[in-house]
Structure 1
């Protein structure tokens, strides 16, 4: 009877169950990178048993378990490393590229020690700006340089993020400047937790935030450059008042060059506003377009920085990602602002407010005909317009709370500092009420708010 179909196969159970507590051992030879992709629906933990391993310049402590979710990153073996990992994915590493030589390490070391010499030779630290196209490793390079700067000396570099799509110490849509005074959290794509979080295992950071609010710079280039200028003024004041940060210098992360204007006037304005004295352009040496772009950038900005324009090859270990992954990082940043992460649980507070008690403004989106009008030259591109409260306009929207009064003029609202963020969870047209999630208990502040282009649905 054993020849009948199905009798012998019935005893074979498909291997579809993955034991999340099963430990796997991985050995990383010295000088190699382990490329890891952890999807949003998966989890992974890593524990270094022996050796020295880093994630973007931050060393992993031995025999401490680090947890990761929805993040693409690399583990660099400074010396031979033996680690164990657990996870819901049986093979989290990038197939075919599990272990690759870290060809960028020497370039990053040389750049770091060059910046150290600049800090030792003058009281005004280096103001280095990283530029390049998308997915060449600009943010990873900035993070590594920040980590190396604080590793051996008591420096506090000012990290400046000028890419509103990056969620670093804040929800998306912001430009930020953050003094890096302690190690960065290797478990979080947003680099760590800000002062809005509760008690944290690592020292929380206190960023200076300026709201851009839109997703793409081209939606309102004038507003973006105005926001950059406002942030540069705050950075200049902070450097003037804090000698340690001034000595440590600034590390500036920029948007992809494709998002700036073709004649590079935006780039020149940023250089002038932040008094940049060193520019690193990251690009693919084997890409003709990148090389042609380097020549164009070189001709444009050499009058401002002279020979202090360096070219760095595309970083080894850059993991190709898509817009879906970047959207998920933005959603995670919004969720972590209100609810915390796996290490720190937060409890937001829900309030109900009447239509007439809520004043919301929004910037003009020049790429939206219904918002900007037919002739973009006939409008004030920095002007704010009041939002008509409807479910379609603000449902699930992230809004920015400002320090300006509820009845303040639009220009005062635009120039106002950021108090925090709130999330619109429900709009009830029948009762004319809006339910809003705020980070702390209490009444909704008596202030004006700014609508961002970002949405979050729980």
Structure 2
């Protein structure tokens, strides 16, 4: 195989070389492992692989629904786009092979998001499957790009053999993906490792659901006496994570047990909140039990090893062993 395209997964519902809830960019240098869950295969994030190892760049979104926090979703897409285009400039084999982007099912209502993706990844072909109206709307929206041949919009009819997925099947696939991440499968079994960590040794965050964030703003004080000056607004904009993440200070079984934690590259001692937005993910662990009396978590790792004392993100992806 003399090509090495980058496969970009922007659908957080699917786990492509990572957990559900992740956005990934992965150079593909050989065949997919069709016997693995999803037909993609494993990656070096969970251990050795039967095929050539895939090394994805992983951004943790933390939700299954791309619309749960569009600000966070767009931010990760932008950062993933920068990293992907940089790789194209540095690697001639990748540049000659191009980028293939898989998105969630989008409509014309998501045009701003589509524009962001086209811009961030310098897209020159859009394939619209089974939605003639969207194809026509995109032709109108990108008329200047289409007219100067910098963008081609291709309409494909949906195959008669395509079956719509129901929620129960999607959830089953997600559970199998998570299980495979930690345990492997018949051809490539892994040796998951259970250990305990002390909560006080780590800093925990969780992604903010936009609907909850906007609801909280309804109860914010209003009026001139509460209006911050321009300097305060600028400082708050630079230093706050309110729209994206919130720190977990009140620990309980409800917000930690049976959840997947993303292990970031940032040490727990990091004091810059904005660094969390740009941090990549080293891997994932699963919380099986929270012992409140001891302040400890029982966690499952895909491979034995020391647990890094880094900032952890509690995703909205649940899983029960």
Q: Give TM-score scaled by structure 2 length.
A: 0.86
| Aligned mates of 2:112, 2:268 — CA distance in 1 | 36
For residue 334 of structure 1, report the CA deviation from its aligned partner.
Answer: 0.9
Q: Which runs of 5+ in 1 are unaligned?
A: 1-149, 284-289
| Aligned mates of 2:220, 2:40 — CA distance in 1 | 40
Match runs of 1:101-116 below 5 Å: none
Matched, 1:267 2:114: yes
Match runs of 1:6-21 below 5 Å: none
Which residue of 138, 156, 163 corresponds with 1:319? 163
Matched, 1:374 2:221: no
Matched, 1:385 2:246: yes
Q: Which runs of 5+ in 2 are unaligned?
A: 222-239
Which residue of 361, 373, 380 corresponds with 2:205? 361
> Which whole-Å deviations, capped at 9, do the CAs of 1:77-131 have from their partners, x for residues lacking one?
xxxxxxxxxxxxxxxxxxxxxxxxxxxxxxxxxxxxxxxxxxxxxxxxxxxxxxx
> Which whole-Å deviations, capped at 9, do the CAs of 1:235-266 have from their partners, x for residues lacking one?
011111110000011111111114xx716011
Match runs of 1:24-63 below 5 Å: none
The equivalent residue for 2:61 is 212
CA contact (8 A) 2:241 2:274 kept: no
Evaluate the alpha carbon distance shift between residue 200 and residue 404 of structure 1 in structure 2; reply closer, same or farther with a 3 A threshold.
Answer: closer
Evaluate the alpha carbon distance shift between residue 372 and residue 397 of structure 1 in structure 2; reply closer, same or farther with a 3 A threshold.
Answer: farther
RMSD of aligned alpha carbons: 2.2
Higher helix proportion (structure 1 or 2): 2
For residue 381 of structure 1, report the CA deviation from its aligned partner.
Answer: 5.4
CA contact (8 A) 2:259 2:286 kept: yes
| Aligned mates of 2:161, 2:220 — CA distance in 1 | 44
The equivalent residue for 2:23 is 175
The equivalent residue for 2:11 is 163
| Aligned mates of 1:293, 1:278 — CA distance in 2 | 15
Secondary structure of 1:281's counterpart equals: strand
For residue 196 of structure 1, report the CA deviation from its aligned partner.
Answer: 3.0
Secondary structure of 2:93's counterpart equals: helix
Evaluate the alpha carbon distance shift between residue 250 and residue 425 of structure 1 in structure 2; reply closer, same or farther with a 3 A threshold.
Answer: same
For residue 199 of structure 1, report the CA deviation from its aligned partner.
Answer: 4.1
Which residue of 213, 223, 232 corresponds with 2:81? 232
Which residue of 163, 184, 194 corresponds with 1:350? 194
Matched, 1:247 2:108: no
Secondary structure of 1:457's counterpart equals: coil
Evaluate the alpha carbon distance shift between residue 333 and residue 377 of structure 1 in structure 2; reply closer, same or farther with a 3 A threshold.
Answer: farther
Number of equivalences:
297
The equivalent residue for 2:236 is none
The equivalent residue for 1:446 is 309
| Aligned mates of 2:199, 2:311 — CA distance in 1 | 13
Evaluate the alpha carbon distance shift between residue 314 and residue 337 of structure 1 in structure 2; reply closer, same or farther with a 3 A threshold.
Answer: same
Q: Identify which of structures 1 and 2 has the higher relative contact order when contacts are C-alpha pairs closer than 8 Å and 6+ apart.
A: 2
Matched, 1:457 2:320: yes
| Aligned mates of 1:437, 1:385 — CA distance in 2 | 24
Q: Give TM-score scaled by structure 1 length.
A: 0.61
Secondary structure of 2:185's counterpart equals: coil
Evaluate the alpha carbon distance shift between residue 201 and residue 444 of structure 1 in structure 2; reply closer, same or farther with a 3 A threshold.
Answer: closer
Which residue of 181, 185, 188 corresponds with 1:341? 185
Secondary structure of 1:209's counterpart equals: strand
| Aligned mates of 2:140, 2:71 — CA distance in 1 | 24
| Aligned mates of 1:348, 1:376 — CA distance in 2 | 45
Matched, 1:420 2:283: yes
CA contact (8 A) 1:279 1:309 kept: yes
The equivalent residue for 1:407 is 269
